[in-house]
Chain A
Amino acid sequence: MAGTGNAAGAAGAGSIRAGRSDGTTVAVGVPRLLRIPAALALALVALPIVGLLLRTEFTRLPELLSSQASLHALRLSLITASLSTLACIVLGVPLAVVLAGTAGNLGALLRTVVLLPLVLPPVVGGLALLYLFGVNGFLGYLLDVVAGARVPFTTAAVVLAQTFVAMPFLVISLEGSLRAREENYERVAATLGARPWTVFTRVTCPLLLPALVSGTVLCFARALGEFGATITFAGSLQGVTRTLPLEVYAQSESDIDSAIALSLLLIVIAVVVIGIARPRSLRGRS
């Protein structure tokens, strides 16, 4: 009704809007009504960051960021996030390939399991990891008895927690494009004499590269931001398990300026990550 009203109004007033003459195609208009909630949504995402920026003391930034605790946290975050991303690639790529080739109920079941960390509150994930690898958990007990190794509250626990929460991002991204792909290239490669392994390494993998890159970047970003599972499973020990998000949390109780400075650092990293990942994922789809 609003549409016909507008059209009649425009025609009646004879007010034909100045058209472009630049050869662009004419898009079907976006209903104006949608602009209000859209603006609210944008504000909800953007304004808190503006608030953070307004509160930041930029002159003290170098000093705040170069404190011993901040540097430790930054170093630990970069190392653990890199390691967990690597683990996600090494384990996640084969998982995605196997999942993409698994049809039926089994496939659906496996996919649900893989997605679990994505929907589970990270704290729950951390608790679950604790009861697997803790001294009371069956794997933890086994490791303790056989190798004398204790996982919880170590840097290894941080990597495990990050891998746990980040894995689905890589697997889902890859599996999606694996399933969406036409297998024609692989079939042609086979008729040209390529064995399955050759087809996988020389045709399937290169074709998946865009999805792998964007999946990896997302995976790294998720690992870098990991908080709940880490604090539950690995604790918050400076230099050992206290990553950047944990440091922000710790500082927010004592030194708020420092916490804000670190938050800003995380925002910068996030923006860089989005900048790298977004065009790739678009290219991967086209």
Chain B
Amino acid sequence: MNPGGGLDATVEVTRGDFRLRADVGIPPGGVLAVLGPNGSGKSTLLECIAGLRHPHGGSVTLGDRTLTDVARGVHIPPHRRGIGVLGQAPLLFPHCTAQDNVAFGPRARGAGRAAARKVAREWMERLAVAELAARKPHQLSGGQAQRVALARTLADEPGLVLLDEPLAALDADAGPAMRAVLGRVLRDGDAARCGLLVTHDPLDALTLADSVIVLSDGAVVERGATREVLAAPRTPFTARIAGLNLVTGRAVAGGLRTVDGAVLSAASCDGVPVGSPAVAVFPPGNVAVHPGHPAQGRGAGNHSNSGSAVVESLEPHGSVVRVRIGVPHDSPEHAWVAGLTADVAPAAVAELGLEPGHPVEVAVPADAVGVHEAFTGRS
């Protein structure tokens, strides 16, 4: 029922000390991922777009329809926006069967019982939940319920689907299956429908979205094509969710000088002008950790970027142990290693006797390091 078209939204919300000011654009048929730490304003942004919250300023247009325009006093209520929402919890109406849930949207918009049921059947078949039609929500598993909820959202044929961490509450088995289903409907879907996905997981962003914005403290701090942003993060938050280490400083020839004066050599410098703010990025798997002897350690520092510090914590991370490096005690020029993560094989952790508080030598080979221009404010 919706004419479709892209989303163009600028939203301003002030709440106490918190200020959200974000602009997002999604082309018709596109999917945008919104990444950001808790409290960065992602859900507030979504609510403003869905019409569930009145922003203090800004506007929202979908295709050629103006849905919100604070300056002109326009606020189309949520039920007339044609924007579907799917959150962490499926929120299926507990008193309706799965099929009646899916048929709710068409019914609410005035479709007859039979017509609504037909639409519901089609969507349930597309999402492979047709056999659950007669079940009540409490008889569904988490993954099944979330699929039915997705069918319900799509059966309403929204011009824009807002997905607010739709996989976050699913278990390890249901998550990937649901991600595949989402990928299918977002990709093979209607060119008129665009999507906005809030997530913590870089994999969701990579597999489901074409572009990404990163929100931090209510502002957009990064934006671009998903692959590019995640491969070359410019803010510590993006680096962390991309699972990469990030060191800030200024570009020098063949590397980066940290704020503490250490120089990291890098294999690729991405054409960053010398002297401009830059970040060095490298994966935890390329960071080597050895039991440290500060006296020897300093000598080895020049070839492969290295520094001595202490182990802050150890935690299992898939098949490896992720070692977090703490602040060096006695060598301020090595401050850049604080907060780095290194992935070490469990056997090596045992062999080296790594434990929190132990002094270690951290080394990063230059060919694992990429230097990129740092994010400097506006994008």
Q: Which chain A residues have a beta carbon within 8 Å of chain B's beta carbons?
A: 184-185, 187-196, 198, 202-203, 206-207, 209
**For residue B93, which residues in chain A have a CB less than 8 angstroms away from its CB?**
185, 189, 203, 206-207
- Is there contact, CB below 8 Å, between A193 and B156? yes
Residues of chain B in range 8-64 having any CB-CB distance to chain A below 8 Å: 50, 52
Nearest-CB distance from A153 to chain B (Å)?
45
**A194 x B85 contact (CB < 8 A):** no
Name the CB-closest residue of A to B149. Answer: A188
Given A191-B84, A192-B84, A192-B156, A207-B79 contact (CB < 8 Å): no
- In the assembled complex, how far is the CB of residue B41 from the closest CB belonging to chain A, in whole angstroms? 18
* Residues of A contacting B81 in the complex (Cβ-Cβ under 8 angstroms): 191
Name B residues whose Cβ lies closer than 8 Å to a Cβ of A.
50, 52, 77-85, 87, 89, 91, 93-95, 104-105, 108-109, 152-153, 156
Can you list 26 A-B pairs, Cβ within 8 angstroms, ordered by A? A184-B87, A184-B89, A184-B91, A185-B91, A187-B52, A187-B78, A187-B85, A189-B104, A190-B52, A190-B77, A190-B79, A191-B52, A191-B83, A192-B84, A192-B104, A192-B108, A192-B152, A192-B156, A193-B80, A193-B108, A195-B79, A202-B108, A206-B93, A206-B95, A207-B94, A209-B95
A191-B78 CB under 8 A given contacts A184-B89, A198-B108: yes
Chain A's nearest CB lies how many Å from the CB of B364?
A: 46
Residue of chain B at shortest CB distance from A187: B52
Taking CB atoms, residues of chain A closer than 8 Å to B78 are: 187, 190-191
Q: Are B95 and A191 in contact (CB under 8 A)?
A: no
Q: Do A188 and B85 have beta carbons less than 8 Å apart?
A: yes
| Complexed CA–CA distance, A189 and B108 (Å) | 9
CB-CB nearest in chain B for A191: B85
Q: How far is the CA of A11 from the CA of B104 in the complex (A)?
A: 62
> Which residues of chain A come closer than 8 Å to B109, judged between CB atoms?
193
CA distance A55 to B105 in the complex (A): 63
- CB-defined contacts of B77 to chain A, threshold 8 Å: 190
Residues of B within 8 A of A190 (CB): 52, 77-79
Bound together, the chains give a CA A191 to CA B85 distance in angstroms of 7
Chain B residues positioned under 8 Å from A202 (CB to CB)? 104, 108
Report yes or no: B89 in contact with A194, Cβ–Cβ below 8 A: no
CA distance A207 to B137 in the complex (A): 14
CB-based contact A192/B105 at 8 Å: yes
Cα distance A184–B93 in the bound complex, in angstroms: 10
Chain B residues near A189 (CB-CB < 8 A): 93, 104, 108
**B80, B82, B93, most chain A CB atoms within 10 A:** B93
Besides A185-B93, A191-B50, 7 new A-B residue pairs in contact (Cβ under 8 A), listed by A number: A187-B85, A191-B52, A192-B79, A192-B108, A192-B156, A195-B108, A206-B95
Q: A189 CA to B152 CA in the complex, in Å?
A: 10
CB distance from B37 to the nearest CB of A (A): 23
- The smallest beta-carbon distance between B47 and chain A, in angstroms, is 9
Residues in A with CB closer than 8 Å to B84 are 191-192
Docked-complex contact A193 and B95, CB < 8 angstroms: no
The reply to whether B108 and A188 contact each other, CB–CB distance below 8 Å, is: no
Give the chain A neighbours of B108 by CB distance below 8 A: 189, 192-195, 198, 202
CB distance from A183 to the nearest CB of B (A): 10
In the bound complex, what is the Cα–Cα distance between A187 and B50 (angstroms)? Answer: 10
Chain A residues with CB below 8 A from B153, complex form: 191-192
Which residues of A have CB within 8 Å of B50?
191
Assembly CA distance A193 to B109 (angstroms): 6
Residue contact A194 to B52, C-beta cutoff 8 Å:
no
CA distance A190 to B108 in the complex (A): 9
Q: Are B91 and A194 interface neighbours, CB within 8 A? A: no
Q: How far is the CB of B76 from chain A (nearest CB, A)?
A: 12
A164 smallest CB distance to B (angstroms)? 33
Given contacts A184-B89, A187-B52, contact A194 B94 (CB under 8 A): no
Q: How far is the CA of A203 from the CA of B89 in the complex (A)?
A: 17
A198 proximity list for chain B (CB < 8 A): 108
Enumerate chain B residues within 8 angstroms of A192, measured Cβ to Cβ.
79, 84, 104-105, 108, 152-153, 156
Q: Which of B79, B94, B152 has the most A CB atoms < 10 Å from its CB?
A: B79
What residues of B have a CB within 8 angstroms of the CB of A206 in the complex?
Answer: 93, 95
What is the bound-complex CA distance between A189 and B156, given in angstroms?
11
Q: Are B91 and A188 in contact (CB under 8 A)?
A: yes
A198 and B78 alpha carbons, distance in the complex (Å) = 13
- The chain B residue with its CB closest to the CB of A209 is B95
Q: Check A207 against B95 for contact (C-beta < 8 Å).
A: yes
- Taking CB atoms, residues of chain B closer than 8 Å to A193 are 79-80, 82, 105, 108-109, 156
Please, how many angstroms separate the alpha-carbon atoms of A209 and B95 in the complex?
Answer: 10
Cα A195 to Cα B105 with chains together (Å) = 11
* B51, chain A: closest CB distance, angstroms: 8
Q: Whole-angstrom distance between the alpha carbons of A189 and B84 in the complex?
A: 10
Q: Give 6 nearest A-B pairs by CB, closest first.
A: A194-B108, A192-B105, A190-B78, A206-B95, A191-B85, A193-B109
Closest-CB distance, A197 to chain B (whole angstroms): 11
* Residue with the greatest number of chain B CB neighbours at <10 A, chosen from A190, A191, A206, A209: A191
Complex CA distance for A190 and B52, rounded to whole angstroms: 9
A207–B89 CA distance with the chains assembled, in angstroms: 17
Q: What residue in chain B is nearest A188 (Cβ atoms)?
A: B91
Q: How far is the CA of A209 from the CA of B108 in the complex (A)?
A: 21
Residues of the A chain whose Cβ atoms lie less than 8 Å from the Cβ of B85: 187-188, 191
What is the distance, in angstroms, from A158's C-beta to the closest C-beta of chain B? Answer: 36
Residues of A close to B104: CB separation below 8 A: 189, 192, 194, 202
Chain A residues within an 8 Å CB radius of B83:
191
Residue of B nearest to A190 (CB): B78
Bound Cα distance A246, B78 (Å): 55
Least Cβ–Cβ distance between A193 and chain B, in angstroms: 5
Rounded to whole Å, the gap between the CB of B134 and the closest CB of chain A is 18
List the B side residues contacting A195 at CB < 8 Å: 79, 108
Interface centre among B50, B85, B91, B108 (most CB of A within 10 A): B108
